[in-house]
């Protein structure tokens, strides 16, 4: 069964506590937080101080997506702020530093995710997949909400699902009523939804529908 994680990037940042309550009331058990450093991606969002405040305002699990050039420099701060799961981009870390990065995140006691840009072939990174809690495929170029789903990424989702039947596969970007049935059929089981959740007239109904979509 797929799980929906609302992406707070599409929320009203002046009313974060209300928006978090709206996610919980709709039935979400976790929210996705997009951290952008204006270097790895051409946008700037939030950092550990805001995540600490979010942590105090909700019991929802915090799934933190670090779109940062040097994620390990700040990982401890993000963990201390209350992140339950920290996802780093393979493009930022590189093969050479991957082992240390995974060990570093494990030492912080959080769950670990690896994220892939749409043009990064995950097969070159399969050797790390047994060591992480999930992988996340960007189905848009990261940086902004509200972009169109890139269908070519479906091949990567299918290849990963074929090789790793039990690994949680998260997808992020342009995930909505139109794209969910296909990407779930491909093997994705954690759906990051920004606009599709927050701009739906009935987010609870959207979440129920999405979580009922079968493989
Ligand atoms: C984009 C972010 C996403 C974004 C998705 O770089 O990583 O999490 O919020 O937004 P939607 O669902 O609107 O495409
Ligand atoms: Zn994200």
Provide the domain count of the chain.
Answer: 1
pLDDT digits (tens, 9 = 90+) for 61-103: 999 999 999 999 999 999 999 999 999 999 999 999 999 999 9
* Contact of 195 with 145, CB cutoff 8 Å: yes
> From the CB of 9, is ligand 1 less than 6 Å away?
yes
Instruction: Give residue 20's domain range.
Output: 3-212
Proximal ligand: closest to the CA of 193: 1
> Could you give the angle at which helices 71-80 and 98-107 cross, rounded to 10 degrees?
10
Chain-centre distance for alpha carbon 188: 12
Which tokens in the block code for residue 88? 């780093």
> From the CB of 147, is ligand 1 less than 6 Å away?
yes
pLDDT of residue 207: 98
- Active-site annotation, residues: 34, 172
- CATH number of the domain enclosing 80: 3.20.20.70
pLDDT digits (tens, 9 = 90+) for 126-181: 999 999 999 999 999 999 999 999 999 999 999 999 999 999 999 999 999 999 99
Which tokens in the block code for residue 213? 């979509």
The pTM for the full model equals 0.98
- Which letter does DSSP use for residue 108 in this model? T
Tell me what percent of the residues of the chain surpass a pLDDT of 90: 99
């Amino acid at each position: 069964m797929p799980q929906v994680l609302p992406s707070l990037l599409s929320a009203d940042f002046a009313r974060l506590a209300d928006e978090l309550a709206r996610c919980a009331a709709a039935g979400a058990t976790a929210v996705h937080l997009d951290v952008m450093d204006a270097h790895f991606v051409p946008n700037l969002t939030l950092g550990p101080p805001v995540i600490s405040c979010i942590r105090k305002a909700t019991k929802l699990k915090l799934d933190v997506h670090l779109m940062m050039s040097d994620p390990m420099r700040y990982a401890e701060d993000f963990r201390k702020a209350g992140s339950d799961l920290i996802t780093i981009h393979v493009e930022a870390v590189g093969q050479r530093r991957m082992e240390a990065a995974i060990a570093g995140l494990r030492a912080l006691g959080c769950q670990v995710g690896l994220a892939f840009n749409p043009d990064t072939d995950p097969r070159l990174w399969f050797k790390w997949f047994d060591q992480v809690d999930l992988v996340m495929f960007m189905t848009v170029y990261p940086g902004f909400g509200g972009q169109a789903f890139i269908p070519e990424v479906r091949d990567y989702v299918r290849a990963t699902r074929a090789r790793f039947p039990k690994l949680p596969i998260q997808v992020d970007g342009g995930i909505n009523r139109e794209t969910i049935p296909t990407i779930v059929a491909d093997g994705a089981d954690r759906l990051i939804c920004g606009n599709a959740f927050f701009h739906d007239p009935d987010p609870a109904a959207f979440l129920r529908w999405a979580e009922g979509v079968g493989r």
